[in-house]
Amino acid sequence: MYVYDSLDKTLLNQRVAEFRDQVKRRLDGDLTEDQFKPLRLMNGLYLQLHAYMLRVAIPYGTLSSDQMRKLAYIAKTYDRGYGHFTTRQNIQFNWIELSTAPDLLYDLSEVDLHAIQTSGNCIRNVTADPYAGAAADELDDPRIWSEVIRQWSTLHPEFSFLPRKFKIAVTGSKADRAAIKFHDIGLKIVRNNEGVLGFAVYVGGGQGRTPIVAPLIKSFLPAQDLLRYLDAVLRVYNRHGRRDNIYKARIKILVDSMGADSFAAEVAAEFDRLDPELLSVRDEDVSRLRDMFAQPFLRPDPDASSSLEDLVKKSPRLGLWFKSNTHPHKTPGYSIVTISLKPIGGIPGDATAEQMFAVADLADRFSLGEIRVTYTQNLILPHVRQADLFVLWQELERLNLATPNVGLASDIIACPGLDYCSLANARSIPISQRISDRFADLNAQHDVGPLDIRISGCINACGHHHAGHIGILGVDKKGEERYQLTLGGQGNGESEVGKIVGPGFDEDGIVDAVETVVSTYLTLRTKGEEFSQTLARTGQGPFKERLYDNR
């Protein structure tokens, strides 16, 4: 993992000191709320329905066990004993006080964590494939490049007051587990025909009011030119992005209105003007980072899988868990284990302080002290010996963290919605809880197969509803909560924006509607066909009929 050196630490300490001073000036009345708000937002501190909310960055989704322990400590000390892992590889604390927020940030800084640029119109926390460094299909470790971007973008003098927020995601694998095409910039690590490492660059994706799948702007960018190219993209955006209308201010609108080709041409012209020396990513820096992210040697254990099969036979629940919650590791005999933060009827992405402490201990025992955070609001232990899986599973069961539902109907993505968020139109969490309860039978969920349900409490789409197989959007209709249903979105691997099926539903109706959609699929599917395949084959027609016919 990346280790902060004294310079990283100096910068972080100075940031905490600066914020402490800003908070003091606000509390003393030297700063008005209007002046203070952008400053606190740049430190991840929002004012939400019930209190201040602090959003802590988990850079490219990687946490050490010590960092997780600190998050648990924060939840216990400054919050009400829990935190919410989000789709942006952040954790949000919902019950924070302004007066003690500087102390909180100081505590975080002791383990190199912070809330810098987790809000505001700047370059946000870089997200990456949570399987980084462990996946078999990986060309290069995306964390190396994410760290390069983190350093470049932190307190960037020129790009801290952009037209709107700016999100960058990196994947190093063929399978896209970071939804890169729904980001302002999506970077996919590739090699060209000569074997040179570089990136395919997608620019102008996003969700919100105008969901757009990012077009390819450059099919091959040599790795050493990464920062020079990002600099050019950001400058073109800062110069030309709209500032007159907040809903048209994201780079996706600029790329869309200019056309991908002329946008690419303008970026290329800016790129050519830049001094290659100044922004070149040097080999020695990359190899320094490569060493930091290199895994200690894992001894291959090719025989592990057979003894595992015996165990699975003994416990069907373990069998289900092994099927849905583990993924092959690049080293034989190891698994990537997903810890489900989606207990049946639970709050998607929430974890208690006790659970966080326990996960940290499990990471130390079973996964080289490493933890990952996924954008689907689960946690991952990336390097688990298959010989340890049974013990680990038992421990996770005890903690209510082993629900065998990863990628299935109850693995729902949900934003905080009206229960916490001041921008919300409707609640998201209770809807997800009721849907989860409705599909409580885990054998049935496994029978239904891969199903991606996502819920947002308003059109900002923090719950990625556009990209869910089944997407639910909360709207406000004359003071009543209503829910719109979209079908056909794709967020894993492929990127696709779902389409609205028809008129919305009330709170009870939406839960029934989801069930109707699933049962319709079960009657339509051919052998081995997944939900999204059936939908692609039949179109929305038969689903619409079942949903609206007997109304």
For ligand SF4, the binding residues (CB under 6 A) are: 415-417, 421, 423-424, 456-458, 460-463
Chosen from ligand HEM, another protein, ligand SF4, none, partner binding at 207 (C-beta under 5 to 8 Å by type): ligand HEM
Under a CB-based contact definition with an 8 Å cutoff, are residues 428 and 455 in contact? yes
Question: Of 375 and 543, which has the nearer Cβ to ligand HEM?
Answer: 375
* Binding of ligand HEM by 92 (CB under 6 A): yes
Q: Given the rule CB under 6 A, which of 74-82, 85-93, 445-453, 530-538 is the region that contacts ligand HEM?
A: 85-93
Question: Which of residues 207, 338, 436, 490 is near ligand HEM by CB under 6 A?
Answer: 207
Residue 460 touching ligand HEM (CB under 6 A)? yes
SS3 content of the chain, % helix, strand, coil (to 5): 45, 20, 40
| Sign of the dihedral through C-alpha 402, 407, 409, 411 | positive
Which of 517, 508, 509 lies closest to 546, judged by CA?
A: 517
**503 DSSP assignment:** S
The SS3 assignment for 145 reads helix
CA distance 23 to 33: 11
Whole-number minimum distance, CB 159 to ligand SF4, in Å?
Answer: 24
Q: How far is the CB of 68 from another protein (least distance, A)?
A: 17
Per rule CB under 6 A, is residue 307 in the interface with ligand HEM?
Answer: no
Over its C-alpha atoms, the chain yields an Rg (Å, rounded) of 23
Q: How far is the CB of 462 from ligand SF4 (least distance, A)?
A: 3
Span from 152-160, 201-209, 394-402, 437-445 in contact with ligand HEM (CB under 6 A) = 201-209
Nearer to ligand HEM, 85 or 505 (CB): 85
Strand arrangement of the beta sheet that strand 62-64 belongs to: 62-64, 370-373, 379-385, 334-339, 326-328
Q: Mapping DSSP to helix (H, G, I), strand (E, B) and coil, where does residue 350 land?
A: strand
* Shortest Cβ 426–ligand SF4 spacing (Å): 8
CA angle 114–117–121, rounded 5-degree value: 165
Instruction: Report the phi/psi class of residue 353: left, alpha or beta, with left for phi > 0 and alpha for psi in -120 to 50.
Output: alpha
88 interacts with, out of ligand SF4, ligand HEM, another protein, none, CB within 5 to 8 A per kind: ligand HEM
Are 429 and 419 in contact by the 8 Å Cβ rule? The answer is yes
Kindly state the smallest distance separating residue 353's Cβ from ligand SF4, in Å. 23
Cβ neighbours of residue 6 closer than 8 Å, sequence gap 6 or more: none
Q: Which residues neighbour 33 within 8 Å (Cβ) at sequence distance 6 or greater?
A: 26
533 binds ligand HEM (CB under 6 A): no
Tokens describing residue 251: 């780079």
Rounded Cα–Cα distance for residues 197 and 7 (Å): 29
Q: What is the DSSP string of 245-256?
A: -GGG-SHHHHHH
Which residue among 40, 69, 150, 164 contacts ligand HEM (CB under 6 A)?
Answer: 164
| Beta carbon of residue 213, minimum distance to ligand HEM (angstroms, whole number) | 12
Structure tokens at 342: 């989606």
Q: Which is nearer to another protein, 347 or 371 (CB)?
A: 347
Question: Does 87 participate in binding ligand HEM (rule CB under 6 A)?
Answer: yes
Q: How far is the CB of 307 from ligand HEM (least distance, A)?
A: 39
Question: Least CB distance from residue 473 to ligand SF4, whole Å?
Answer: 8
Residue 239: contacted member of another protein, ligand HEM, ligand SF4, none (CB under 5 to 8 Å, by partner type) = another protein
Q: 308 to 367, contacts with ligand HEM by CB under 6 A? A: none
First-to-last C-alpha distance (Å) of the chain: 56
* 421 in contact with ligand HEM (CB under 6 A): yes
Q: Which does 250 bind (CB under 5 to 8 A by kind): another protein, ligand HEM, ligand SF4, none?
A: ligand HEM
Binding at 458: pick from another protein, ligand HEM, ligand SF4, none (beta carbon under 5-8 Å per type): ligand SF4
Asked if 405 and 340 touch (Cβ cutoff 8 Å), the reply is: yes
Q: How far apart are CA 342 and CA 338, in angstroms?
A: 11
Which of residues 111 and 423 has its CB atom nearest to ligand SF4 in the complex?
423
> Burial letters for 236-256: b for 16+ Cβ neighbours within 10 Å, e otherwise?
bbbeebbeeeeebbbbbbbbb
Figure out which of the listed residues 51, 399, 423, 475 binds ligand HEM, where binding follows CB under 6 A.
423
Strands 470-477 and 453-456: parallel
Binding partner at 457 among ligand HEM, another protein, ligand SF4, none, C-beta below 5 to 8 Å by kind: ligand SF4
Tokens at 533, concatenated: 């395949």
Q: Give the helix/strand (H/E) hosting 27.
A: helix 6-27
Find which of ligand HEM, ligand SF4, another protein, none residue 92 binds, CB within 5 to 8 Å per kind. ligand HEM
Among 250, 454, 469, 482, binds ligand HEM (CB under 6 A): 250
Site residues (vs ligand HEM, CB under 6 A):
46, 48, 53, 86-88, 92, 164, 167, 206-208, 250, 415-416, 420-421, 423, 460-462, 464
